[in-house]
A and B are shown apart, each in its own frame.
Chain A
Amino acid sequence: MSGYDHDQLAQLIGMLPPAPDAWVRAAQELPEARRGLDQLVARAEADAAFRADVLADLERALEAEGVEPQPRVVDELRRLLADQ
């Protein structure tokens, strides 16, 4: 391989700046979010009153499960409950 000079290396380092922290954190928390969603949906399937409570306030239901109610997660929960 031919030699890379400092400028080339600097440019290549600069081509990959960090993604915004919040994006990375949201992606990293995906497994916990999915587990929280699965638990909510399972309980909602088994308990109609609980399902009504969840539907009445999706954000609060997620927070109660320890899941940050990001819009994407709220939408996913709404979709899963609608599929029931």
Chain B
Amino acid sequence: MEAPGDDGEAASGRAELTEHAATDAALVQRCRAGDDAAWRELVDRFSRYVYAIAVQGFRLPQQDAEDVFQEVFARVYERLGSLRDDEAVRPWIAQLTRRLCIDRLRAGSRESDADLDELPEVPADDVLESLEQAFDVHEALAELPENCRQILDRFFARDESYRTIGDDLGLPAGTIASRISRCLDKLRDAFEGRNLPSTPSSGQVT
């Protein structure tokens, strides 16, 4: 039997999920209506995700990763109209990216006469699952105040040094470290507050 508080927490989680998914769905609808700004936003929202699946998940070399990246967005653009569930745009993009990465690996194997049954570098499920979690963390990051968003992204995702960030923000390098710590606390609260499931579904249109 569930504790009395569980219903409330579950309902809250569902509400957040619905709100988040609705944002994706609204974006898809605007794209479908020919809104170029919405398209730019959609690319912006999913570009890191697609890039990470190709480069970190499948370890594609940059040239192949670029081809996959452009092909993913070209297909998304062409096929948005056939997406059955607008809220499922993220798992659809993930599935499309994985499929194109596998196609690319197969093409490479054919060129090198390797055994087609033995695809190299297909990522383990836990790597892809971690990328899902990473996406959720970035969504939570996007909810933080601009200064935290910028400092965490620049330090951890863009690999910039304390000094570079400090010089840009007009802060001593030592202050950056303490800000990072405080911002990580805020991020943890935001991330755990979202309580989003991170497993993409499959079976979407391609």
Contacts from A to B (Cβ < 8 Å)? 1, 3-4, 6, 9-10, 12-20, 23-24, 26-28, 30-32, 34, 72
Q: Does B47 contact A (CB under 8 A)?
A: yes
Contacting residue for B70 out of A15, A23, A32, CB 8 A: A23
Contacting residue for A28 out of B44, B158, B159, B191, CB 8 A: B44
Contacting residue for A34 out of B77, B138, B156, CB 8 A: B77
CB–CB A30/B73 < 8 A = yes
- Complex formed: what's the CA distance from A31 to B195 in Å? 35
- Complex formed: what's the CA distance from A52 to B20 in Å? 50
Question: Which residue of chain B has its CB nearest to the CB of A26?
Answer: B70
Chain B residues, CB < 8 A from A24: 43-44, 47
Chain B interface residue count, Cβ-Cβ cutoff 8 angstroms: 40
CB–CB A15/B134 < 8 A = yes
- Complex formed: what's the CA distance from A13 to B156 in Å? 6
CB–CB B192/A4 < 8 A = yes
CB–CB A23/B156 < 8 A = no
Contacts from B to A (Cβ < 8 Å)? 34, 36, 39-40, 43-44, 47-52, 56, 66, 69-70, 73-74, 77, 130-131, 133-135, 137-138, 141, 152-153, 156-159, 181, 184, 187-188, 191-192, 195
Chain B residues, CB < 8 A from A9: 137, 184, 187-188, 191
CB–CB A15/B131 < 8 A = yes
Chain A residues, CB < 8 A from B39: 28, 30-31
CB–CB B43/A28 < 8 A = yes
- Complex formed: what's the CA distance from A12 to B40 in Å? 24
Contacting residue for A15 out of B50, B52, B66, B195, CB 8 A: B52
A12-B133, A23-B69, A27-B69 known; A1 vs B48 contact (CB < 8 Å): no
Chain A residues, CB < 8 A from B73: 27, 30
> Taking the nearest CB of chain A, how far is it from the CB of B42, in angstroms?
9
